[in-house]
Structure 1
């Protein structure tokens, strides 16, 4: 009798027990796939690219080989984290590429000859970004217009300081770029640091929660008593800090300055955020996915160079690969619904 009663009241397979408050197992599985699939897809794409590169050039799997292969992705990862912060509040920064280039110019000129003036110019960038966030929030000017306009300002200042590529970075910055290790590839250390910083800023700190709330539901954030203006300005300043780091690391690698050295970063960082699971509408910040997306995009050009693909075709091939990964994300998200 007891057995029959127990059997009759037991929940059906795949359904939650009444009153338990837990969704069915299938629903939880689909939710997990939806949350983790973007980073997983980026990771799979990254592993495939590394495997193909290793098949062509086995020496890549050494510490030295991985260092050379990942070096170019380091500045891109920091810039992508900055774009992720901007996109988490529902905005887009179209000036990142030229600003990173300007930072390399400042590093190769003023930081080497007049460090005080160089530091002041880098500090001025933070002030400008705070003003950009203020204008976007208070005046309602679309971020793409404000940041696109500033991209031409960054370009003009960079050309004024250094019309042609050149200059020389200070010794301390050169030392960072020339750091080598026999234990772990140095680029992996910087990439992990970028992911950790992005994770702490957007997922663990209170300001990160407010930034995501601003992008997803500004009215709710306002009703909770938080300043929308302060939140957006903070997001812009934090993004500017990461952009400055990106530019300094790029200058450390090249040991020179070039205003056009990161011209492709603008669109590449947006693609990295989207590959990592971000959205244009805001409210999401996935540092790990963004990091994997940025490294994947950075390694695509390395792989295409190893297969000796003509430079005229590399841009098109890179676009096809990116579209393939995005298509995989769309298919996975539809399956997880």
Structure 2
């Protein structure tokens, strides 16, 4: 007799789950719409194609990095090295990709291999992911500073073309954000590995009884997330045309916030790519809005945190009502 990963939920359970899953994304969308409306009222020029392109371009690598964090959080883990890893990839792209492509490829392959080892350590030895990824954040920082002590370098021309692409009459970032969301959706919601990743975060004993390797599943999640972070770093490098280990230092907390805003949980088992994208774009627009109102940089983080907390409070209230 075969063992299934989960039993079919009742109609009432499906309705309740749908309400709980949809509410966070809906709240994030409302927050996004409000922030966009306020920003447009302050700077009407953003309603043009060039304006939307300028406003949304910086959100593209953040969306992809948030999708990677979603994969990690789907198995119940958190990656605290996201910011410095993305920054390291920009350094590799600017300092090595053009002049020493083989070395650049080897370093990127090494990053994927390290993530596989981290997954093994977490699953096999029960070391908390926040500990190993926090430690790795300092490793990525050290490697980045060793390669490039100061910001600089130049990305290959073929990479810079991505940020310079301008389709006629349509903002390019929307296409790139949609592709990043589609990638996250395919991996987490359509591919078989995505089902196993979500099951590892919510039904690990049942997954193991079904004959699926827990170690292999966690390694898959970590390597997929690492590959998406590498892509995010390359996209960021294509925009800045240079490398800086600190260029994405804020991504770590922003990606976690984006996943939570989009309906994710710290306990794992849930992956909502569209909600994560909405959360990431919302956070990106908050930064733009706070800059437009000339809020001192020392207060921008506090204001951003207050807005995020307000949305999360609304999520808690709606989830309680749904129950």
Normalising by the smaller structure, the TM-score range is over 0.9
Q: What's 1:18 paired with?
A: none
Q: Following the alignment from structure 1 to structure 2, what is the Cα–Cα distance between the partners of residues 116 and 22?
A: 54
Q: Deviations over 1:153-206 (max 9, x none)?
A: 000000000001111101101111211123221111111011101001000111
Q: What's 1:313 paired with?
A: 299
Q: What's 1:48 paired with?
A: 34
| Contact 1:49–1:300 (Cα < 8 Å) also in 2 | yes
Q: Following the alignment from structure 1 to structure 2, what is the Cα–Cα distance between the partners of residues 90 and 135?
A: 15
Provide the aligned length of Structure 1 versus Structure 2.
Answer: 315
Instruction: Select which of 60, 69, 73 maps to 1:74.
Output: 60
Q: Deviations over 1:42-92 (max 9, x none)?
A: 111111111111111111111111110001111110000000000000111
Q: What's 1:129 paired with?
A: 115
**How do 1:206-245 residues align onto structure 2 when only pairs under 5 Å count?**
206-245=192-231
| Contact 1:108–1:251 (Cα < 8 Å) also in 2 | yes
Q: Deviations over 1:241-277 (max 9, x none)?
A: 1000000000000000000001111111001000000
Q: CA deviation at 1:32?
A: 3.1
| Contact 1:63–1:182 (Cα < 8 Å) also in 2 | no
Counterpart secondary structure, 2:68: helix
Counterpart secondary structure, 2:97: helix
Q: CA deviation at 1:23?
A: 4.6
In the alignment, does 2:171 pair up with 1:148? no
Q: What's 1:201 paired with?
A: 187
Counterpart secondary structure, 1:111: coil
Q: What's 1:189 paired with?
A: 175
Q: What's 2:152 paired with?
A: 166
Q: TM-score, normalised by structure 1?
A: 0.91
Q: CA deviation at 1:315?
A: 1.1
Q: Following the alignment from structure 1 to structure 2, what is the Cα–Cα distance between the partners of residues 158 and 247?
A: 13
Q: What's 2:321 paired with?
A: 335
Q: CA deviation at 1:28?
A: 6.5
Q: Deviations over 1:85-137 (max 9, x none)?
A: 00000111010100000000000000021111111111111111111111111
Q: What's 2:254 paired with?
A: 268
Q: Following the alignment from structure 2 to structure 1, what is the Cα–Cα distance between the partners of residues 60 and 85?
A: 16
In the alignment, does 2:98 pair up with 1:112? yes
Q: CA deviation at 1:29?
A: 5.5
Moved over 2 A (4+): 21-24, 27-33
In the alignment, does 2:161 pair up with 1:180? no
After superposition, the CA RMSD in angstroms is 1.3
In the alignment, does 2:91 pair up with 1:102? no
Q: Following the alignment from structure 1 to structure 2, what is the Cα–Cα distance between the partners of residues 281 and 315?
A: 26
Q: CA deviation at 1:311?
A: 1.6
Instruction: Select which of 233, 236, 239 maps to 1:250.
Output: 236
Provide structure 1 residue ranges, at least 5 long, that are not aligned to the other structure.
1-20
Provide structure 2 residue ranges, at least 5 long, that are not aligned to the other structure.
1-8
